[in-house]
Amino acid sequence: MFSLKMRASRNGNHVSGAERLVNEEKIEKISSELIKRAMSHENGVPDFINLKIEKVTEKINKLKHLEIKTVHSTSKENSRNIARNLLKNELEKYYLKNGKDIEKIDELIDFAFKIIDAGNMRGAAILDLDGNRLENILERGIRVKNIDTTEELSEKILKDSSLTKRTVDAIAIATKVVNCGVISELCTSDNFSYTTGYVATNDGYFRILNLKDKGQVGGRVFFVENSKIDELYDKLENMPVIVY
């Protein structure tokens, strides 16, 4: 298989990026789809597009996608409470396992919301249970790479008129992240007008409507136990995964 990575920018600012893992015979078709995607991006027409095509020699891991559960909520406050409870449920198990004070979980979640609302990172932040940031480069964060979804999954998701390509891309990230041992992920979109975000755990991909206000920036936080961070980093970036 081959990895295709596209990133586009304008005046040095990131406009869009996407990646695919495809068989040799699909390289041309998917390359043109990625270029089309770059050219028609909502952030404007780019003045620079980079398309990288590389043969993947490692074993490709096939992962079953997290179940999609949409949570309808009309206010940001309520949506954030729902996200908080989902995160708490998951984090509590790890706090207890590591003998940590569960009263501190709210503080950790507040910190995560602060990070995503600051919106100044290209990749995700990684937080351990004590609220330490574990990314190699703080401003950059970690970018989950070498992922794709099968056409069947993508078609199945897009058949639902309430879902878009955003969900297809996000489910690939969330499924890989959770399978790599991340306890849970909190995400809001970096698109100003897209207010749906999600919490991903082993129990599913919980899309939560109105997780931020229109006009707000977004971000991603991965919650982890702090052991084996180098191994986790390597997997998140380099392990080839196709989500089905």
**Does residue 141 bind ligand PML (CB under 6 A)?**
no
Q: Which of 46, 197, 219, 240 binds ligand PML (CB under 6 A)?
A: 197
**Does residue 207 bind ligand PML (CB under 6 A)?**
yes
Q: Which is nearer to ligand PML, 187 or 236 (CB)?
A: 187
Distance CA 23, CA 235 (A): 22
Least distance in Å: CB of 197 to ligand PML?
5
Distance CA 154, CA 225 (A): 31
Q: Which is nearer to ligand PML, 167 or 175 (CB)?
A: 167
**Does residue 198 bind ligand PML (CB under 6 A)?**
yes
Least distance in Å: CB of 144 to ligand PML?
12
Q: Which of 166, 179, 204, 217 binds ligand PML (CB under 6 A)?
A: 166
Least distance in Å: CB of 132 to ligand PML?
25
**Count of residues of this chain found to bind ligand PML when the rule CB under 6 A is applied:** 11
Q: Which is nearer to ligand PML, 196 or 210 (CB)?
A: 196
Distance CA 87, CA 54 (A): 37
Least distance in Å: CB of 212 to ligand PML?
10
Interactions with ligand PML, residue window 120-139 (CB under 6 A): none
Least distance in Å: CB of 220 to ligand PML?
8
Could you tell me which residues are beta bridge partners of residue 148? 242
Least Cα distance to 21 among 49, 57, 50, 48 occurs for 57
Least Cα distance to 79 among 181, 212, 192, 188 occurs for 212
**Reduced 3-state DSSP string for 67-86:** CEEEECCCCHHHHHHHHHHH
Least distance in Å: CB of 187 to ligand PML?
5
Q: Which is nearer to ligand PML, 116 or 224 (CB)?
A: 116
Q: Which is nearer to ligand PML, 90 or 185 (CB)?
A: 185
Q: Which is nearer to ligand PML, 7 or 105 (CB)?
A: 7
Interactions with ligand PML, residue window 167-196 (CB under 6 A): 167, 170, 187, 189-191, 196
For ligand PML, the binding residues (CB under 6 A) are: 166-167, 170, 187, 189-191, 196-198, 207
